[in-house]
A and B are shown apart, each in its own frame.
Chain A
Amino acid sequence: MSTAVHLKGVSVAYALAGGGKYEAVQPVDLSVRDGEFVALLGPTGCGKSTLLNIAAGLMAPSSGTCDIFGERLSGLNAKAGYLFQQDALMPWKTAEDNVAIGLEVAGASRREAHEKARAMLAKVGLSAFGDRYPHQLSGGQKKRVALAQVLVREPKILLMDEPFGPLDAQTRLIMSELLLDLWQQDRKAVMFVTHDLDEAIALSDRVVVMSAGPASRFIGEFTVHLPRPRDIAEVRAEPAFHRLHAEIWSCLRDEVRKTYGLPGKAGAEQGAV
């Protein structure tokens, strides 16, 4: 399988107002194979979203390179779809128009774009909500529209920045299920940024753990050997899930404590991130 995203020696530093610079991310290497679901896991403020923005071409790295399917990325990544954490729908367009616009600006006829948009909205369970404006939708529904907006363009790579972070626990489960279902149908390469350990294991093939910022780096990489297709609710009950959870948590725990200014703790203690 070919490599969809290849970050090589990518580092990020910001210039500080008073001179000098702030090193956010130390040089890291990361490659995501075509069809692979990779979760980037780390405590708040560790620069995971920054790496995602670099893969999207929204941001340039301070050093290092980003290759997309073997081609050096300059400018925006046209092969990628980006699902933002915040609400990014255009409030002045209906759900259907929001989904169709990505096809229309790419040159599709209005009819064709809207037919595909309707089909995609049906897939995310919103066929009755096409004529609603974003403010008339719930948080979960808006997220579904955003997912449809990204998927309808059939990107080769999916970049997701804690997409389900702002949702409540139940809606998150439902959204994760929906995402896995859709992803199972045609496996794209996925870079999924999250701070939720359960979510990372349940969804992905591989979990990459980042240290706390500043100057964060990769501190662990874990392959998830859980069979697919997965049932999000059931997979959490499997012993393999718990073993991996404990393993990753012991790697992550000290980093999380660091973020809150607490000393590292030796005893293995289970908990959520």
Chain B
Amino acid sequence: MPISRGKLLGLQILVAVGVFAFWHVVTNWSVVGDVKTMRFFFSTPYDVIVRVFSMFMEGSVYRHLWITLVETILAFVIGASLGIVIGFWFARKPLVAAVFDPYVKMMNALPRVVLAPIFALWFGLGIWSKVWLGVTLVFFIVFFNVYQGVREVPQVVLANARMLGMNERQLLRHVYWPAALAWVFSSLHTSVGFAVVGAVVGEYLGSAAGLGYLIHQAEGVFDVTGVFAGMVILMGFVMLIDGIVTLVEKPLLVWKPGETKTV
């Protein structure tokens, strides 16, 4: 059933209003527990909004946002580039893929959080330890997608391209590359999301700036309002990046079959 844009937006806002209303009620009246205790653990929506607002007004948050943004972009660019190159290499060289297969699986099974301290040791407390943490997350997503994309080009499309006179280099450019790119783009939201996760988790575990650092600082002094404010800013940041990704991918995936609309 098609839903109009306005109606959808209205319903989505209604969900947010509901959540905030519930939060407001339980932290202002003793419905679930003592108001004072509830406020200590959950702050209040009003306080959180005021805090977010003041953070932007006094301008302290911009530096942290910028740092997290830079880490996210670097993690994504490096991770995606490595994923594309190595994914292509593995897909075109079955021996290499077979030899490295167990190691790739092992590396991917490792929870990345355990790498954070060692990366802090190797790359210092600056941005690079966070960037590399993000890279380890982004790389595998892009790598698996490129590998799959190159391997799953339909045989008949390949045979046709060969019969049209393409050599290996031309096949790479006109067949393998676009096929792989489609898979990269279909996973773009996930991989960009993971770049953010890498940056924030890295900051959280040891840094001097960034959104993860802000949240960690607030937590250290039981400033629940600060933690929630940091989370709200982080959510807005992720939504913004996701929106940009959507804008970027639309013209690039125009050839993909989507829903056909009747007028």
Residues in A lying within 8 Å of B, measured CB to CB: 56, 58, 76, 78, 80-82, 84, 86-94, 101-102, 105-106, 133-135, 149, 153
Contact = CB atoms under 8 A, between A and B. Distances in A.
B182 A80 contact: no
Interface residues of B, number: 22
Contacts of A84: 156, 159-160
A88 B255 contact: no
Contact of B170 (A81, A92, A105): A105
B86 interface: no
Contact of A88 (B156, B170, B178, B256): B156
Given A84-B156, A105-B170, A92 B164 contact: no
A76 B163 contact: yes
B254 interface: yes
B162 interface: yes
Given A101-B164, A153-B165, 7 more contacts: A76-B163, A82-B159, A84-B156, A88-B154, A91-B255, A105-B166, A134-B255
Nearest to B162: A76
Interface in B131-163: 154, 156-157, 159-163
A106 B164 CA distance: 9
Contacts of B157: 88-91
Contacts of B257: 135
Dominant SS at the A interface? loop
Contacts of A90: 157, 161, 174-175, 178
Given A84-B156, A88-B157, A149 B178 contact: no
B199 interface: no
B69 interface: no
Contact of A105 (B156, B164, B178, B256): B164
B159 A58 contact: yes
Given A86-B156, A105-B174, A133 B164 contact: no
Contacts of B254: 133
Contact of A133 (B160, B166, B255): B255
A81 B161 CA distance: 11
Nearest to A88: B160
A149 B163 CA distance: 11
Interface string B160-191: 11111111001000110011001000000000
Contacts of A134: 255
Nearest to B252: A92
Contact of A56 (B161, B163, B175, B255): B163
A92 B165 contact: no
A163 to B, nearest CB: 12
B26 to A, nearest CB: 51
A152 to B, nearest CB: 10
Given A133-B255, A135-B257, A87 B164 contact: no
A87 B161 CA distance: 12
B255 A93 contact: yes
